[in-house]
């Protein structure tokens, strides 16, 4: 990379645009040039501009410490900038600035990089950065193409996070590498060569940008600790797993015992099941006997209920006997009801007919009256038409005359207003003339008073500008004088602070010595503690406590599992009972459904044959005394009334279908069906059995784990199942309390050791922090001393500037004395400049206003005189027009009054159009009334005629129905008489009895159904009773293994229950032993599996732990200084190799050598027979040469083999003698020919100005900290 041109605009002290062109003479041909100027003139600003244009960062602001803000909230960074913000480089008082660099990159293209920012009133804008590639086409035309600085990435926000990926690829170096390569840091190397090894590692790390090694060392230490913790975790788990493992002999013994226990357990289970089956048989027999007794009681109750329904049966028999007269009786009752309704209807129609006849007479009279009124109105209209025509003509003439009168009166009003307006304008004109004359006289008086100050007032703006300049200059001199005095006081305070810093540094060194001695004593005290034994004791106590807590949980688990097993056993027995009951009921229902399915088809077929259409035709064809074509019988009892005969069959079919539906619903209903219930109960029973098996397995596992853990604790019982629970809980609690006491003792010893270790760590940390603080204090003292010298020089420069400013103020004051004509202006200026400026402004305003008023008044007075003549002429014309209008108005009014009088005599003043419209509306309304009255009369007459016909028809219909009703009545009376005369019928028949039989409200079907259901209930209960008896007899036949009873009073169920309890107790004992043995086997298998699964993980973690431990022993530690010093030894080796090459060009007398495996540097003096010299023996000039060589070496090392054609060396030449200075200048000049570098030396010493001819001078211009560049 090669810099071609640098352009700066308003950067720091460099005001305006400044250009450094390395392609123009004299810089083009110069191998070495200097940047010279006074302190603070802006020499380093050139380097800031280069870095800003390229990377958006400036060395002077990069890494600056931010100060604390004394506000409740942090201010806006676009208004108040942080100290490390590069926008601080904008020159105060200017609005914008930029830095631009043109350079030749390693790809052969020229680029132009630009950085700029501005301020808009109070807010700083965001910095703007651009990068352009300069391209030359074949015709020699130059164009620019913008290149992405970020390389396509997203630009980060903030002045600290800058993305330069694209630019870094073009140049080949990032910001840190560029500054180390192009800008030499020999002052930092001067500190480096004099520091000890620990400080050298820190300084070299900062100089070379190799902070990565410290981070790597810390990461190695963190990974080592993580690997150690992971290995210990798995190792402790493996140790815990090995406790439950059994030996081969013990394992064989336990497995044999397990087989024997399983065989005995199965035998007892079979015996227990036989006893349960026999107990179930006796329980079912008792249940069947109870059910038979219940069904027998139901049958007796149903028979009694059926006998109580005999009165209902008699009523139903009578109903069947009177069925033939039903239709005749219904006709008779209907005719009676219709006759009654017809009688009422005829009466209503006759009343309506009389009303209509009366209404028709009234409507006819109304029609005649309306017609007469219509004729009267038509005659009146014909009489009024000639008068209306005459009145309409007179009204037209009257309206025209009234319009004329109105127009003349309006003209009279307008003329009066015009006369009034003209008089008002004349009065206003006279007032304006008087006012203008008064203003003219006042302006002439004011001008006469200001005549002595006319020259000053004519040049008022220039005088005001000079006066304001004098005021600002005086205020500036006063402010800067005050600041200069304050600065002097601050310099004295800073000198005191420097002396205090020296004393504080000496005190810190003494504290470091005391702290080192305390660390040594504390380390010796901790060396005698056996940490591993203490940790082992703590691990044993922790394991015991963990085991006891696990045993407590196992005891609770065993008790809980045993309780759950007992609950499951009871629930299984209850579900088994419910399932048996449901199965029995389902069997009975299935049998009944099969019986119904067997009988129902025959009944349905008989019903269909008897009730078919062909059977009906055959019954209808039967005649008394003739043989039946089917059976040959001559008597046909079922030829009529077959419905009553078939009704019981129909009802029986319906009953059986209903029962079949009920059985299906009971068996297959979605909620509550027997099949679903049995399925649900079987599922619950299976779930309980699975739960019981799972609980047995968990109980065996818990017992096995208890047996494994309890081996280490003789005080605890080996059999947790048989042990007394309260006593065992008390034993566990006592053992836990003993372990807790031991743990507290061991924890106290560990805490004491850890506290001592923490104190030692804190002391070491304090010692390291104090060392860092001392180093910072030394740096701070050095910085304060340098700053003090700089501020002292700036104070002297400020004093000279104040003297120069005071002389300029005196010259400006003398010039103002010649221009200002006010006698006391200087006294007023000293007392209150604002009042003096306001006084001059007031005088100037009065003078300018008086001149303007005087000139305007003359012109306005002439205008007012011309306007007065015109107003007098307009007034005369207006008065003549008023007189003429009055005469014309009087004649028009007289004519209008005469015409109005004639018009009032025709219609009395009424409007002819309105009169004609009123007559026409009255005639139309009368015509409408005639039409309406005629229509109403016609409608009433028509209704009367129609209603008369309806009345006659109703009377005829009444006579016919009355004859039919009398015939039906005779038929009913004849049937009642025949019924009562017959001896076969039950009871006496009357009309009231017929009403009861044929009443619609009588529920005869319900009564029939009631009798049928009662009879069916008797049959059903009898069948159920028989089924229960058969089931009981069949169950007795199924008895197996009858129980031998010792006497008649012995209860078989109690004897069986006693035998079952004995077998169950034996099973429980066997089950406990099985669970214990099974738990031991399960714990052994689990231990083997866990150890196998954890073995590979343990080996993997052990290997990782060993690898990280070896790496940590070599490179890692907590603060990272071990690897840092090791890595920096290699970095120093490469740096010394590069520095020796540079040193040979500077001076062949010296070369550098690294102390083996350390950061020490020795100097070999070839002029003294290769004598090895320590750094402390070098003079100031020799130290400078060594530092310069190291800085040049770092530049070569940081360039990453990328050719950099520019190099800047900042300060440090004042310590060289004449010969050494010449030698260094020659060596720097040779860098152009040997490495192609153009070297720029920044210095303010006079020797450098004389030795280097080509110079970029930074020259101060006037006051205010302004500078400009001169290239010579």
Q: Give the span between the Cα atoms of 455 and 818, in whole angstroms.
A: 11
Helix (H) or strand (E) holding 1149: none
The answer to whether 913 and 393 have CB atoms below 8 angstroms apart is no
Shared domain for 71 and 135, answered yes or no, is yes
- CATH assignment of the domain containing 161: 3.40.50.300
Do both 163 and 231 map to the same domain? no
Cβ atoms of 170 and 180 closer than 8 Å = no
Domain end marker among 646, 677, 710: 710
Same structural domain, 230 and 164: no
Q: Do 642 and 547 fall into the same domain?
A: yes
- Is 230 a member of any domain? yes
Domain for residue 597, yes or no? yes
Residues of the chain with pLDDT under 50: 65, 67-72, 156-158, 1041, 1043-1048
Give the CATH number, domain containing residue 694. 1.10.287.1490
**Pick from 704, 728, 703, 733: which is nearest to 717 by CA?**
728
| pTM, two decimal places | 0.36
In sequence order, what are the beta bridge partners of 36?
A: 1243, 1257
Residues 6+ away with beta carbon under 8 Å from 1256:
20, 27, 33, 34, 35, 36, 46, 1240, 1269, 1270, 1271
**609/679 same-domain check:** yes
Name the β-bridge partners of 123: 120
Residues 557 and 666 in one domain: yes
Same domain, 42 and 114: yes
Round to whole Å and give the CA distance between 1227 and 1141.
11
**Domain-located, residue 415:** no
Q: Which of 710, 737, 769 is the last residue of a domain?
A: 710
- Same-domain check for residues 554 and 685: yes
Evaluate whether 951 touches 350 at the Cβ level (below 8 Å): yes
Joined together, the tokens standing for residue 788 give 């003090």
Say what angle helices 175-182 and 43-55 make with each other, to 10 degrees.
Answer: 150
pLDDT digits (tens, 9 = 90+) for 1151-1179: 888 777 777 788 888 877 778 887 777 77
Same domain, 662 and 574: yes
Residue 688 belongs to some domain of the structure: yes
Residue 1233 has what pLDDT? 59
Does 551 share its domain with 676? Answer: yes
In a domain, 1231, yes or no: no
What kind and span of H or E run contains 507? helix 460-527
- The answer to whether the beta carbons of residues 164 and 56 sit under 8 Å apart is yes
Write down which residue in 685, 710, 735 finishes a domain: 710
In this structure, what are the phi and psi dihedrals at residue 1260, rounded to the nearest 5 degrees?
-75, 140
Same-domain pairing of 558 and 664: yes
100/232 same-domain check: no
pLDDT tens-place string over residues 400-428 = 878 888 888 888 888 888 888 888 887 88
- 1166 is a domain residue: no
The answer for 152, left when phi > 0, alpha when psi is -120 to 50, beta otherwise, is: left
Structural domain span for residue 1097? 224-250+1060-1108
Assess contact for 230 and 1103: CB atoms under 8 A. Answer: no
Angle of helix 613-621 relative to helix 531-611, nearest 10 degrees, comes to: 20
Number of domains, the chain: 3
- Token reading at 975: 């049937």
Confirm whether 263 is domain-assigned: no
pLDDT for 71? 42
Q: Report if residue 296 sits inside a domain.
A: no
How far is C-alpha 1009 from the geometric centre of its chain's CA atoms? 73
């Amino acid at each position: 990379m090669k810099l071609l041109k640098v352009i700066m605009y308003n950067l720091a002290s460099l005001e305006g645009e400044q250009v450094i062109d390395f392609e123009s003479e004299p810089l083009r041909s110069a191998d070495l040039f200097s940047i010279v100027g006074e302190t603070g003139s802006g020499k380093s600003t050139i380097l800031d501009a280069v870095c800003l244009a390229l990377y958006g960062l400036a060395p002077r602001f990069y890494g600056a410490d931010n100060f604390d803000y004394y506000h409740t909230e942090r201010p806006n960074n676009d208004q108040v900038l942080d100290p490390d913000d590069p926008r601080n480089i904008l020159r105060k008082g200017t609005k914008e600035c930029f830095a631009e660099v043109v350079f030749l990159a390693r790809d052969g293209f020229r680029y132009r990089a630009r950085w700029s920012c501005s301020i808009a009133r109070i807010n700083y804008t965001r910095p703007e950065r651009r990068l352009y590639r300069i391209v030359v086409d074949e015709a020699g035309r130059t164009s620019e193409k913008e290149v992405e600085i970020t390389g396509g990435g997203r630009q980060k926000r903030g002045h600290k996070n800058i993305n330069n990926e694209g630019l870094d690829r073009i140049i080949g170096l990032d910001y840190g590498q560029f500054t180390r390569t192009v800008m030499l840091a020999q002052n930092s190397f001067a500190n480096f060569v004099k520091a000890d090894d620990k400080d050298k590692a820190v300084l070299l790390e900062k100089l070379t940008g190799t902070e990565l090694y410290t981070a790597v060392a810390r990461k190695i230490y963190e990974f080592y600790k993580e690997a150690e913790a992971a290995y210990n975790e798995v190792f402790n788990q493996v140790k815990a797993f090995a406790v439950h493992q059994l030996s081969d002999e013990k394992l064989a013994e336990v497995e044999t015992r397990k087989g024997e226990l399983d065989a005995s357990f199965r035998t007892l289970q079979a015996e227990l099941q036989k006893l349960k089956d026999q107990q179930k048989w006796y329980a079912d027999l008792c249940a069947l006997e109870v059910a038979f007794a219940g069904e027998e009681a139901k049958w007796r109750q149903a028979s009694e209920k059926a006998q109580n329904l005999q009165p209902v049966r008699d009523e139903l028999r009578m109903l069947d006997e009177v069925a033939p007269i039903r239709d005749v009786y219904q006709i008779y009752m209907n005719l009676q009801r219709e006759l009654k309704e017809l009688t009422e209807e005829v009466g209503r129609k006759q009343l309506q007919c009389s009303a209509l006849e009366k209404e028709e007479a009234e409507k006819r009279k109304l029609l005649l009256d309306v017609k007469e009124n219509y004729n009267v109105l038509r005659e009146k209209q014909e009489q009024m038409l000639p008068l209306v025509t005459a009145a309409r003509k007179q009204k037209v003439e009257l309206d025209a005359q009234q319009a004329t009168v109105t127009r003349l009166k309006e003209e009279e009003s307008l003329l009066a207003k015009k006369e009034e307006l003209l008089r008002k304008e004349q009065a206003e004109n006279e007032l304006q003339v008087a006012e203008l004359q008064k203003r003219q006289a006042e302006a002439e008086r004011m001008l006469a008073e200001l005549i002595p100050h006319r020259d000053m007032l004519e040049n008022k703006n220039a005088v005001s500008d000079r006066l304001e300049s004098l005021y600002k200059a005086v205020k500036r001199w006063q402010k800067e004088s005050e600041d200069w005095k304050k600065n002097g006081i601050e310099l004295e305070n800073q000198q005191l602070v420097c002396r205090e810093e020296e004393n504080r540094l000496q005190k810190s060194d003494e504290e470091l010595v005391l702290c080192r001695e305390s660390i040594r004593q504390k380390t010796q005290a901790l060396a005698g503690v056996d940490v591993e034994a203490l940790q082992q004791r703590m691990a044993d106590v922790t394991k015991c406590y963990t085991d006891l807590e696990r045993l407590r949980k196992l005891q609770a688990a065993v008790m809980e599992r045993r309780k759950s097993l007992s609950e499951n056993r009871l629930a299984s027995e209850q579900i088994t009972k419910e399932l048996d009951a449901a199965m029995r009921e389902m069997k009975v229902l299935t049998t009944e459904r099969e019986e119904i399915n067997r009988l129902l088809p025959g009944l349905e077929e008989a019903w269909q044959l008897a009730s078919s259409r062909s059977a009906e035709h055959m019954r209808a064809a039967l005649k008394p005394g003739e043989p039946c074509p089917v059976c040959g019988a001559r008597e046909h009892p079922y030829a009529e009334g077959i419905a009553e005969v078939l009704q019981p069959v129909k009802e029986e079919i319906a009953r059986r279908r209903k029962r079949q539906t009920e059985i299906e619903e009971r068996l297959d209903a979605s909620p509550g069906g027997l099949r679903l219930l049995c399925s649900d109960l079987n599922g619950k029973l299976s779930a309980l059995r699975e739960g019981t098996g799972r609980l047995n397995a968990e109980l065996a596992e818990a017992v096995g784990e208890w047996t494994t853990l309890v081996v280490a604790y003789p005080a605890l019982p080996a059999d947790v199942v048989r042990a007394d629970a309260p006593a065992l809980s008390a034993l566990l609690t006592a053992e836990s309390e003993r372990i807790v006491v031991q743990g507290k003792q061991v924890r106290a010893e560990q805490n004491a050791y850890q506290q001592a270790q923490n104190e030692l760590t804190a002391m070491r940390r304090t010692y390291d922090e104090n060392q860092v603080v001392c180093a910072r204090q030394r740096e701070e003292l050095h910085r304060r001393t340098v700053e003090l010298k700089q501020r002292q020089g700036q104070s002297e420069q400020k004093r000279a500037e104040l003297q120069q400013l005071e002389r300029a103020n005196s010259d400006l004051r003398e010039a103002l004395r010649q221009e200002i004509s006010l006698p006391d202006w200087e006294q007023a200026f000293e007392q209150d400049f604002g009042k003096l400026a306001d006084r001059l402004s007031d005088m100037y305003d009065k003078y300018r206003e008086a001149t303007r008023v005087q000139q305007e008044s003359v012109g306005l007075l002439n205008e007012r005189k011309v306007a007065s003549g015109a107003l007098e002429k307009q007034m005369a014309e207006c008065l003549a027009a008023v007189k003429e209008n009055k005469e014309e108005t009087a004649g028009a009014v007289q004519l209008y009054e005469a015409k109005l009088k004639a018009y009032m005599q025709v219609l009395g003043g009424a409007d002819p159009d309105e009169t004609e419209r009123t007559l026409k509306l009255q005639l139309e309304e009368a015509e409408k009334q005639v039409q309406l009255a005629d229509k109403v009369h016609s409608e009433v007459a028509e209704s009367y005629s129609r209603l008369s016909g309806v009345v006659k028809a109703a009377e005829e219909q009444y006579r016919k129905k009355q004859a039919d009703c009398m015939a039906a009545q005779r038929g009913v009376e004849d049937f009642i008489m025949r019924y009562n005369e017959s001896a076969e019928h039950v009871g006496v028949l009357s009309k009231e009895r017929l009403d009861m039989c044929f009443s619609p409200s009588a529920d005869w079907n319900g009564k029939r159904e009631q009798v049928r259901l009662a009879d069916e209930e008797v049959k059903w209960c009898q069948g159920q009773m028989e089924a229960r008896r058969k089931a009981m007899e069949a169950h007795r036949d199924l008895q197996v293994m009858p129980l031998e009873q010792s006497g008649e009073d012995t209860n078989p169920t109690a004897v069986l229950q006693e035998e079952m309890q004995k077998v169950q107790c034996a099973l429980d004992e066997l089950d406990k032993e099985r669970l214990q043995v099974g738990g031991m086997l399960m714990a052994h298998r689990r231990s083997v599996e866990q150890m196998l699964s954890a073995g590979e993980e343990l080996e993997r973690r052990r290997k990782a732990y060993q690898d990280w431990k070896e790496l940590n022993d070599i490179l890692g530690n907590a603060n990272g200084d071990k690897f840092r010093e090791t890595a920096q030894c290699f970095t120093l080796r490469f740096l010394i190799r590069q520095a020796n090459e540079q040193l040979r060009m500077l001076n062949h007398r010296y070369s550098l050598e690294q102390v083996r495996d350390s950061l020490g540097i020795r100097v070999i003096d070839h002029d003294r027979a290769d004598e090895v010299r320590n750094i402390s023996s070098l003079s100031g000039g020799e130290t400078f040469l060594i530092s310069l060589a190291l800085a040049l070496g770092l530049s070569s090392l940081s360039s990453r083999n990328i050719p950099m054609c520019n190099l800047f060396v900042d300060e440090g030449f004042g310590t060289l003698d004449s010969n050494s200075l010449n030698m260094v200048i020659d060596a720097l000049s040779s860098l152009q020919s040997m490495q192609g570098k153009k070297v720029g030396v920044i210095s303010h010493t006079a020797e450098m100005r004389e030795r280097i001819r080509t110079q970029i001078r930074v020259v101060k211009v006037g006051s205010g900290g302004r500078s400009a560049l001169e290239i010579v």
